[in-house]
Amino acid sequence: MEQAMMEHESATEQETSTTAQELDANQLQARVAELEQAYEEQRNLYLRTLADFQNYRRRQHEEMERQRGLLLESVMTELLPILDNFERALQAAEATRELEPLIEGVRMTERQIKAVLARYDIHPIIALGQPFDPNLHEAIQRVETVDYEDGIVIDEVERGYRLGERVLRPSRVIVAKRPQEPPNQGLDVQA
């Protein structure tokens, strides 16, 4: 009988073990299904976010291009009358063969261009007579001279411009360099 009881307990343990294993497997399958669903939800959220971001970038790029086109149109609208005046000055000079109408037309054109630049907060960089500043100037040559202090801009080859505080183009300049004095070789000349 003891043996029968032991067999019964062993069978019960096996059934319990099998049931526990089945229960664990069912729980694991349910957990796997739950994790797969969460993964799919996160993946779909990621794909939607990625698509939204790509659409945002495309819209931003299109808007920047539209703004660029509008700005270019605005600038060209202001420059075309200047070109018209320049052409008129050339025509008048050709027709009369006089230099004065051409000179006056060029001066008027220069004033108009400067006015347009000023409206866009574009101003020339003052370089002549100023100390050389590598943030504002590009030295293309250094010339020995006794007329200016060392490092002073003595000529402007190409004017530089700023847009607000930002340098659009540095001034291309020639900078003074003091000549080096010959070394005193210990010869004192007495008069």
The domain segmentation of the chain, as residue ranges, is 1-120, 123-180
Phi, psi angles (nearest 5°) of residue 95 = -70, -40
How many CB atoms are located within 10 Å of the residue 171 CB?
25
List the single range of 1-10, 48-57, 118-127 with lowest mean pLDDT.
1-10
pLDDT (0 to 100) of residue 12: 61
How many CB atoms are located within 10 Å of the residue 126 CB?
13
CA–CA distance, 82 with 102 (Å, rounded to integer): 14
* Residue-wise pLDDT tens digits, 146-189: 999 999 999 999 999 999 999 999 999 999 998 887 666 555 55
Q: Is the pLDDT of residue 135 over 80?
A: yes
* Residue-wise pLDDT tens digits, 28-81: 999 999 999 999 999 999 999 999 999 999 999 999 999 988 988 888 888 888
Task: Compute the Cα dihedral for 50, 52, 53, 55 and give only its sign.
Answer: positive
pLDDT (0 to 100) of residue 14: 64
Architecture per CATH, domain 123-180, reads as: Roll (2.30)
List the single range of 9-18, 118-127, 133-142 with lowest mean pLDDT.
9-18
- The β-bridge relationship of strands 122-124 and 161-163 is antiparallel
Q: Find out if CATH 3.90.20 is the number for domain 1-120.
A: yes
CA–CA distance, 191 with 189 (Å, rounded to integer): 7
- Whether the CB-CB separation of 82 and 116 falls below 8 Å is answered with yes
CA–CA distance, 94 with 101 (Å, rounded to integer): 9
CA–CA distance, 109 with 55 (Å, rounded to integer): 45
Three-class secondary structure of residue 155 per DSSP: strand
pLDDT (0 to 100) of residue 15: 63
Burial of 112 (0-12, 13-18, 19+ CB in 10 A): middle
